[in-house]
Structure formats: structure tokens, C-alpha cells
A = this chain, B = another copy of it.
Amino acid sequence: MRVDLGNALSDVATPGLSREALDELDERVADAHERIQRGRDESEHGYAALNLPDTANPDAIRRAVEPFADAEAVLTVGIGGSALGAATLARALPSETDAFFLDNVDPEHVTRLLDSLPLADTAVNVVSRSGTTAETLANFLVVREAMDDAGVDWTDRTFVTTGEEGNLRRLAETEDLPALAVPDGVPGRFSVLSTVGLACAAIQGHDIDAILRGAGDEADRLAGSLYDSPAYAYGAASYALEERGAAVNAMMPYAESLETFAEWFAQLWAESLGKDGRGQTPARALGATDQHSQLQLYRAGPHDKMVTLVRPEERADRDIPHTDLDGLSYLGGSSLGDLLDAEFEATEASLAAAGQPNVRVEIDRIDERSLGELLYGMEAACVLYGELAGVKTFTQPAVEWGKKAARGLLGGGDFEEADAVAEKTTLTVE
């Protein structure tokens, strides 16, 4: 992973970082790096995620999914961090084995998806650390019933990824299902490099060792200075830009296959850093498509954002055929990749010319190894940002309130949160 902060400097952009400010920040990066390394050494909660390149066990994952090697499709039933990592890899890497995700409880969507799946040839991975996530368990019950109805023995097609306790673990024991353990100390949004993210990739035939090797390379580049570590350069610059007014971080990959990566990043950033009345808001965009949409705002709107432009340096390219259409002859002889790269650089320059801060992130190509670098790099960037901001990066207390309220509404117990729902203030216009 390479990070270019040139267009985030105060010579170029407002808000922007002066070279002096970066040097001062770098002293804090050194301290934060020590804290992070200590957390890693002691496998503290959260920090343990940064050790996954060494602690994940790809052989165990491959063994666990071996019974599903011939599956036509793999269906992950999970929500949030239990699905997004696997979905990011599945979207980025082409495979003959299709991957699907039930990460929502929309009944129409669930029905359409189940009707379209070859259930007898689908591997089902039910993922929930606690084994009690309402959405995931509800969907699993529905999938199980659909398999029963289709005459498929669901116990043959299902495995679970869960903690040592809880419903799912007990179910796996009772029904003798293959079970993968979620690693200790790794919050869902940091779990892509563990069993949680890699089982689906393994079934799809991807080289999960290479993913971990790429992540390990990025781990090796963590260092006591932002000038030596791309991940820290990104995390420190994001933090410092937010401090100076960049309340929004627009993540804009120039590759269709990284669209889900932007979603994964949004979870990582929002859930880790959004607390104590602070936190940069991630916004998702896609280049070049969103040049015809968000770019108007990013360039001419408030100076309250940074834009992160991500691209692979190499792509499998495709020539644009020659044409005699007036005014388009310049496209012929060029390629779609040339056009996309020209758009990338044009957007970057267009933002810089308007003084809007932006950061360039590049990987070699979209393959297992480079994805490992990118995903690990962004996780380390997030952890560093959290240290600099002094927030509890690895907790998510604000999602609990709503869970209790929903449970109460469904008759799953008495919760005062559910009463608050009934007391809603209304002002309806119809």
C-alpha cells in the first residue's frame, strides 16, 4: 500500500497540514505506535486483530471448509462485521463459486434470494460471535426451513463461525456441524483476516495464505513514524484533517470490485471512531461513476471533507475500438484503463485546484496479496487514529440501546428502551 499525502498539505488544501504540523504529529505517532505494539504484544482486546497475519490459521480454515469444496455457491448468514469482510473479498476477487450474503432481515429480499439459490449445492456459513444476534439467527431459521422444504439436509450444508459459548455453538455440537472459532480479542469490524472473513474466501478458492502474507507485509511496515508507515500516514493524516474541519471522509475507490471495500471501510471508521461526540463520518463513493454526481459537492461544497482516492496500479485492461464518430477519435487506440486512470488523476487535480484535501492510496493490483495489504493497512490506520483521538476504538456501546428496544418491541423481555419507542414525538405531513 502506498499513500500520497501531497494534496493534504496546507500548500494545496484547506483544511490542510503544514509540514511542521506533520512533524509535530509524528512525535505523537511514535508514542501511539508504542502503545499499539504493547497492545499487540499482550494480545489485548482489539489490538489482537493486528496480530492476525501471524495468529490466523489458514490450514484450519481450509480443513473446516473442505466438505464444501464442491459447493456451487456459498451463503454467509451474518450482519455487520460478520459479513462485510467476507463480502469485501468476494466482491473484489472473481470466482467460479458465487458468494451471497444474508446480512439484512428484509423479507422480500430473503425470499428472492432463497428462491434463486441452488440450495442443495450451497454451503451455508452462519456467523455470529455471540451466537445470539437476532437478525442472523432469524435468517438462519428461515434458511433452515427453506432447505427442509426443498428436501435438502441442512446439517450437511451448514457450518458455523462463532464463539465458545452461545446458541450457535450448542447447535453445532448437537447437530455435529463443522464449527470455526472466532478469535479472541478481535471485534467484528476487525475480523476480515480471521476465520470470519476467510472461510468464504477459502470456499471460493482464493489464496488465503496470500491475503495473510500481504497483511503481514503491511504489518512489517508499521513503525514509529508516519513517514515510514503507509498505514500510519493515512491514519494520522485523517485524524489531523478531521481536527482541522474535515468532518467527512469520502472513500472513493476507482475500481468496481472495491465498492464493498468502501462499505467495509465505512463500518470500520464509523463504529470505531464515532463516539464521545466525535468521529469522522465515512461517505462512500465510486470512481469514475460518482464524478458525475458527488464530485460537484466535493469540489464546490463546504471544505468539511477529505476525499480518499484508491486505485490499483495494474488492471486487466481492455482497448477502446477505433471510431470515426466526430470528436471521439481521441478515445480510439486508448483503453478503458487509460480512461479510468485519466479520470482518477483529473479528479484528484480538480479537488486540489479547488483546495479540497485529498489523499491517494495505491495498491499494486486487485489480488489476494494487495487486498491483504489494503485491509490491514486501513485497520492499522483506524487503530492509530483512535489512539490519537483518545477514543475507545474497540467498543460500540451506542448500538446496544437499539438492540434492547427492538427486543422489547418483539416481546423478548421488558426494556425501558422499548417504552421510549411508544412515546415518539410526531409531526406528520401527508
Q: A292-B81, A321-B141, A425-B7 are in contact. Are A134 and B331 (CB under 8 A)?
A: yes
Please, what's the 1-or-0 string for A312-326, where 1 marks a CB less than 8 Å from any CB in chain B? 000111101101011
Q: A274-B300, A288-B105 are in contact. Are A339 and B283 (CB under 8 A)?
A: no
Asked whether, in the complex, the Cβ of A410 is within 8 Å of the Cβ of B352, the reply is no
Chain B CB count within 10 A is highest, among A109, A132, A398, for: A398
Asked whether, in the complex, the Cβ of B300 is within 8 Å of the Cβ of A275, the reply is yes
A256 within 8 A of B: yes
A390 within 8 A of B: no
A340 within 8 A of B: yes
The docked-state distance in angstroms from the alpha carbon of A335 to that of B325 is 56
A206 within 8 A of B: no
Contacts of A406 in B (CB 8 A): 339, 342-343, 345-346
Please, what's the 1-or-0 string for A192-228, where 1 marks a CB less than 8 Å from any CB in chain B? 0000000000000000000000000000000000111
Asked whether, in the complex, the Cβ of A424 is within 8 Å of the Cβ of B352, the reply is yes
A189 within 8 A of B: yes
Chain B CB count within 10 A is highest, among A4, A139, A301, A424, for: A301
A244 within 8 A of B: no
Q: A256-B109, A275-B300, A346-B406 are in contact. Are A79 and B270 (CB under 8 A)?
A: no
Asked whether, in the complex, the Cβ of B425 is within 8 Å of the Cβ of A257, the reply is no
Asked whether, in the complex, the Cβ of A315 is within 8 Å of the Cβ of B108, the reply is yes
Closest to A284 in B: B284
Please, what's the 1-or-0 string for A1-23, where 1 marks a CB less than 8 Å from any CB in chain B? 11111111101100000000000
Closest to A401 in B: B350
A52 within 8 A of B: no
The docked-state distance in angstroms from the alpha carbon of A389 to that of B332 is 43
Give the residues from 371 to 430 in chain A that come closer than 8 angstroms, CB to CB, to chain B: 396-399, 401-407, 409-413, 417-418, 420-421, 424-430
**Within the complex, what minimum Cβ distance (angstroms) separates A115 from chain B?**
10
A295 within 8 A of B: yes
A155 within 8 A of B: no
Please, what's the 1-or-0 string for A299-318, where 1 marks a CB less than 8 Å from any CB in chain B? 11111110000000001111
- Contacting A94 at CB < 8 Å: which of B112, B141, B257? B112
- Contacting A399 at CB < 8 Å: which of B110, B270, B295? B295
A24 within 8 A of B: no
- Contacting A230 at CB < 8 Å: which of B290, B316, B321, B430? B430
Q: Which residues of A are interface residues toward B (Cβ below 8 A)?
A: 1-9, 11-12, 79-81, 84, 94, 103-112, 132, 134-135, 137-139, 141-142, 144-145, 167, 170-171, 188-189, 226-230, 233, 247-248, 254-257, 266-267, 269-271, 273-279, 281-284, 286-305, 315-318, 320-321, 323, 325-328, 330-332, 334-340, 342-343, 345-350, 352-354, 366, 396-399, 401-407, 409-413, 417-418, 420-421, 424-430
- Nearest 7 interchain pairs by C-beta: A274-B297, A80-B292, A330-B412, A346-B405, A267-B293, A274-B301, A109-B256
18 pairs, A vs B, C-beta closer than 8 Å: A6-B424, A80-B291, A81-B292, A107-B335, A111-B318, A138-B320, A142-B318, A278-B302, A279-B297, A282-B283, A295-B398, A295-B399, A330-B411, A330-B412, A346-B418, A346-B421, A349-B402, A352-B424
